[in-house]
Chains A and B, each alone.
Chain A
Amino acid sequence: MKEQFTPKIVGFLCNWCSYAGADLAGSAKLEILPSLTVIRVMCSSRIDSNLVLTTLLLGADGILIAGCHPGDCHYEKGNYYARRRFALLRKVVETLKIDPERLQLSWVSASEGKRYAEVVNQFTDKIRKLGPNPIQTNPYL
């Protein structure tokens, strides 16, 4: 039997909502698939296109950006910036022949530990189905 593909997923979590939500999932001892590893940033607006594209080019199979719900941003409107940039990024990665579904933007508040676990597990499942990032075998990139 073919061994199940273990994806490499990078999660950029905002400090105020989503990182706290991830901690809460931990305190509640919810089971989360281990493929996603976290990088903490102060705000989802810190995640610039360069970071996302480089992460894909370096071979990550999926990228999760998680921030505060619309209207709840600690920095007032950072998540709106993130949302706009994300819509654009999905189009850009398509031109690289990468499925835009490999990028996900989710709102997770500090009180949504359960939601965080669900988001990570569902996203991991999705990336598993999509298979390895084709950039690793694309001779032109």
Chain B
Amino acid sequence: MKRIGVFICHCGINIKGTVDVEKITEEIADYPGVAYIENYIFMCSEPGQKLIRDVIIEHKLDGVVVAACSPTLHETTFQDALEEMNINRHQLEVANIREQCSWVHTDIEESTRKANLIIKTAIEKLKLNESLTPIFAPLTKRTLVIGGGIAGIQAALDIADGGYEVLLVERNPSIGGHMIQLSETFPTLDCSQCIMTPKMVAINKHKNIKLYANSEIESIEGFFGNFKVRIKRKPLYVDPDKCTLCDDCTAVCPVVVPSEYDEGLTWRKAIYIPFPQSIPATFTIDTENCLGFNPIACTKCQDACEPDAINYDMKPETFEEEIGAVIVATGFDLNPVENMAEYGYGKYPDVLNGLQFERILSATGPTGGEMFRPSDGKVPKEVVFIQCSGSRDPERHLPYCSRICCMYTLKHAKLYKHKVHDGQPYIFYIDIRSGGKRYEEFVQQAVSEDGIVYIRGKVSRVYREGEKMIVHGMDTLTGKKIEIEADMVVLAMGIIPSADTDKLVNILRLNTDENGFLVEAHPKLRPVESIQSGFYLAGTAQGPKDIPDAVSQASGAAAKVLALMSNDEISHSPIVAIVNEDLCSGCGICVDTCPYGARELDIIEKIATVNDVLCEGCGACISVCPASAAQQKNLTDEQIFNMIRIYTNA
């Protein structure tokens, strides 16, 4: 039997004031397994710890119970003391007789009786504690960043600057995300492309960054620190090394399709470059619309291409890469206007969403930055902006606030006014949320200087009458109905997770909230990590946010990755689940229960296994095991039963 030493702390009078420590010392001295017992005024002090160390040698102890304050305070202190004497740190138990006894009870007799029980349960648990060592696993010092918008770009650059390799995977032919589509950014009105393109170029040039554009994640295997990821790169059908960006191909291409970059306001060819500053800088063929995959039908671009860069026979390639950590920065889409019955299901060309209006405002947009409306090219003199279009409406649309719409709508109205001096912008709003740095000043300045009319209320209906868009609404401050004959309507559609986020989440085994956004490990204290070890979150994939917040979160996630990468190995608590192979029937219930994917079924042996590195030690698998084959190290059923008996036999 283990030789256990029990040390009871007075904690000055904090414990001794309500617990009769002398009495307990006498009572427990003869308890089975107790080789030595002592009480002392401050166990955590250096003399207190020295007492433990001396007694360990003198009485040849195998384990120690310290009855003192909560284990959250000094468990590691005493564990370290044991380790100094070459005793495993898991041979220490703390009996919490301060926070959960002496401080909450006033009757000395009752507290003494209870402290006695608490110490005995600690002794019983300790008797069956195994000596454990931390679980170490090697670490692959490469990071996968999924998503090449501003958040993914920032995270990739930060990690690469820290000296570690990064793989940046973007599913579109070019990185840049939504930020590259924007005209100017609030509240400073600096040109979005001017601040974005240098970062895109830096990604392309950085020696530590490998860019997989036009690529998607096919699968991920392995565990924290050592993942194997399969990346599928769709062919561009144009050799980027040969392509000179001369643009001869688009001139001859007979197919026109709506431009994604211009949000469908202009047309592009089936062979195209997404936008002039694309990274990687190359043309690509959109196979869904190109006729050239039947060479009899069309080879016009190939014929026109002087450097002979076009090759219809390129095939998708799959790459297998080893990585240690993943940052998910998959971004957002706008809630489709097609969801808005009351505003015409997107069938009116002069009812635009926020991103389309950004394109009209942009110097690189379909109108070259001039203010024309899409239907007939006239200058719109009255423009209605509708905030919270399909947001903050739990009954029919998105329940949440997208955080950026108040500010981007205001920016839109302001920039519109800068372009059409005699125009009149109206903004329907529920509340104005301007919580960012310098946002409120931006609002006040726009309201006082730009003559924007703010109407508090919601718009019930938008329809066309002749050349005008009729907007019916209600001013809830005056209680009056409002009807505006507008030339153009801009809907501030909310943010939703980007298309196929759900599929990626399934591949990565991450969690989303009820709105489809990725869930952080803790809403306040671990906002850039997933609960799944090795996965980090950045940008709007985690929830609606503006550019400064997306960039901050990306740098935060990068800092977490850099801290991880500075280790040679990853360590992990050894308090994990174990399987009694003689009892396990291989039913697999534990596999479905485990929130971490740490459980697997060995189909050949027909038993469940535990991946020590993935197991977080919650114990959920233990309580579902019908055969009691699953146990938790150092908190087995037997240990808990022995503890319960102390209470029930008392």
B580 to A: closest C-beta gap in Å: 15
Chain A contact-residue range equals 35 or more
B111 contacts A by Cβ under 8 Å: yes
B612 to A: closest C-beta gap in Å: 15
A106 contacts B by Cβ under 8 Å: no
B635 contacts A by Cβ under 8 Å: yes
The listed residue with most A CB atoms (<10 A of its CB), out of B104, B107, B644, B650, is: B104
A116 to B: closest C-beta gap in Å: 9
B121 contacts A by Cβ under 8 Å: yes
If the complex has contacts A23-B70, A26-B103, are A8 and B637 also in contact, measured as CB distance less than 8 A? no
A130 contacts B by Cβ under 8 Å: no
If the complex has contacts A39-B640, A77-B595, are A58 and B105 also in contact, measured as CB distance less than 8 A? no
Q: Assess the A10–B623 pair: CB atoms within 8 A.
A: no
The 9 closest A-B pairs by CB, nearest first: A26-B99, A48-B623, A46-B619, A75-B618, A45-B620, A32-B104, A26-B103, A43-B618, A58-B648
Q: Assess the B104–A76 pair: CB atoms within 8 A.
A: no
Cα–Cα distance between A117 and B301 once the two chains are bound (Å): 77
B143 to A: closest C-beta gap in Å: 23
Nearest chain A residue, comparing its CB with the CB of B103: A26
User: Using an 8 Å CB-CB cutoff, how does the interface string of B605-623 with A read, 1 for contact, 0 for none?
Assistant: 0000000000011111011
Q: Assess the A20–B72 pair: CB atoms within 8 A.
A: yes
Nearest chain B residue, comparing its CB with the CB of A63: B644
Q: Assess the A51–B640 pair: CB atoms within 8 A.
A: yes
A105 contacts B by Cβ under 8 Å: no
Cα–Cα distance between A75 and B618 once the two chains are bound (Å): 7
Cα–Cα distance between A55 and B646 once the two chains are bound (Å): 11
Residues of B within 8 A of A50 (CB): 623, 628, 637
Q: Assess the A51–B114 pair: CB atoms within 8 A.
A: no
Q: Assess the A27–B99 pair: CB atoms within 8 A.
A: yes
Q: Assess the A31–B619 pair: CB atoms within 8 A.
A: no
Cα–Cα distance between A81 and B620 once the two chains are bound (Å): 8
A74 to B: closest C-beta gap in Å: 8
Cα–Cα distance between A30 and B121 once the two chains are bound (Å): 24
Residues of B within 8 A of A40 (CB): 71
9 A-B Cβ contacts within 8 A? A10-B648, A26-B70, A26-B104, A34-B101, A51-B637, A54-B644, A60-B644, A76-B595, A77-B595
Q: Assess the B110–A55 pair: CB atoms within 8 A.
A: no
Residues of A within 8 A of B136 (CB): none
B568 to A: closest C-beta gap in Å: 28
Residues of A within 8 A of B106 (CB): 31
Tell me the chain A residues, 46-102 only, with Cβ under 8 Å from chain B.
46-51, 54-55, 58-60, 74-78, 81, 85
Nearest chain A residue, comparing its CB with the CB of B109: A34
Residues of B within 8 A of A32 (CB): 104-105
Nearest chain A residue, comparing its CB with the CB of B573: A42
Q: Assess the B620–A43 pair: CB atoms within 8 A.
A: yes
- With an 8 Å Cβ cutoff, the count of chain B residues facing the other chain is 46
Q: Assess the A34–B595 pair: CB atoms within 8 A.
A: no
If the complex has contacts A46-B623, A50-B628, A78-B595, are A29 and B104 also in contact, measured as CB distance less than 8 A? yes
| Residue of A37, A41, A54, A78 touching B118 (CB-CB under 8 A) | A37
| Residue of A8, A30, A54 touching B641 (CB-CB under 8 A) | A54
Residues of B within 8 A of A76 (CB): 511, 531, 595
Tell me the chain B residues, 84-113 only, with Cβ under 8 Å from chain A.
96, 98-101, 103-107, 110-111, 113
Residues of B within 8 A of A60 (CB): 644, 647-648
Nearest chain B residue, comparing its CB with the CB of A32: B104
Q: Assess the A22–B100 pair: CB atoms within 8 A.
A: yes
A residues in contact (CB < 8 Å) with B: 8, 10, 20, 22-23, 25-27, 29-32, 34, 37-43, 45-51, 54-55, 58-60, 74-78, 81, 85, 117
Residues of A within 8 A of B71 (CB): 40
A33 to B: closest C-beta gap in Å: 8
Cα–Cα distance between A51 and B637 once the two chains are bound (Å): 8
Q: Assess the B531–A39 pair: CB atoms within 8 A.
A: no
The listed residue with most B CB atoms (<10 A of its CB), out of A22, A29, A37, A51, is: A37
Cα–Cα distance between A34 and B98 once the two chains are bound (Å): 13
Residues of A within 8 A of B616 (CB): 75
Residues of A within 8 A of B511 (CB): 76
Cα–Cα distance between A76 and B113 once the two chains are bound (Å): 37
Cα–Cα distance between A29 and B96 once the two chains are bound (Å): 15
| Residue of B101, B595, B643 touching A75 (CB-CB under 8 A) | B595
Cα–Cα distance between A45 and B620 once the two chains are bound (Å): 5
Cα–Cα distance between A31 and B104 once the two chains are bound (Å): 5
Cα–Cα distance between A34 and B644 once the two chains are bound (Å): 16
Cα–Cα distance between A10 and B619 once the two chains are bound (Å): 19
B242 contacts A by Cβ under 8 Å: no
Residues of B within 8 A of A30 (CB): 104
| Residue of B104, B531, B595, B648 touching A55 (CB-CB under 8 A) | B648
Q: Assess the A41–B99 pair: CB atoms within 8 A.
A: no
Cα–Cα distance between A138 and B25 once the two chains are bound (Å): 37
Tell me the chain B residues, 570-611 only, with Cβ under 8 Å from chain A.
575, 593, 595
Additional A-B contact list (9), CB under 8 Å, known A46-B632, A48-B637? A31-B104, A34-B107, A34-B113, A42-B635, A43-B619, A43-B620, A45-B618, A46-B618, A60-B648
B397 contacts A by Cβ under 8 Å: no
Q: Assess the A37–B531 pair: CB atoms within 8 A.
A: no
If the complex has contacts A8-B648, A75-B618, A85-B623, are A34 and B575 also in contact, measured as CB distance less than 8 A? no
Nearest chain B residue, comparing its CB with the CB of A47: B623
| Residue of A26, A37, A48, A51 touching B98 (CB-CB under 8 A) | A26
Q: Assess the A78–B104 pair: CB atoms within 8 A.
A: no
User: Using an 8 Å CB-CB cutoff, how does the interface string of B60-84 with A read, 1 for contact, 0 for none?
Assistant: 0000000000111000000000000
If the complex has contacts A41-B635, A50-B628, A58-B648, are A34 and B618 also in contact, measured as CB distance less than 8 A? no
Q: Assess the B637–A42 pair: CB atoms within 8 A.
A: no
B645 contacts A by Cβ under 8 Å: yes
Cα–Cα distance between A69 and B637 once the two chains are bound (Å): 25
Cα–Cα distance between A99 and B370 once the two chains are bound (Å): 76
A103 to B: closest C-beta gap in Å: 14
Q: Assess the B619–A42 pair: CB atoms within 8 A.
A: yes
If the complex has contacts A20-B72, A60-B644, are A78 and B620 also in contact, measured as CB distance less than 8 A? yes
B624 contacts A by Cβ under 8 Å: yes
Q: Assess the A42–B618 pair: CB atoms within 8 A.
A: yes
A2 to B: closest C-beta gap in Å: 19
Nearest chain A residue, comparing its CB with the CB of B635: A41
Q: Assess the A34–B111 pair: CB atoms within 8 A.
A: yes
Cα–Cα distance between A37 and B121 once the two chains are bound (Å): 10
Q: Assess the B623–A38 pair: CB atoms within 8 A.
A: no
A8 to B: closest C-beta gap in Å: 6
| Residue of A34, A45, A59 touching B619 (CB-CB under 8 A) | A45
B117 contacts A by Cβ under 8 Å: yes
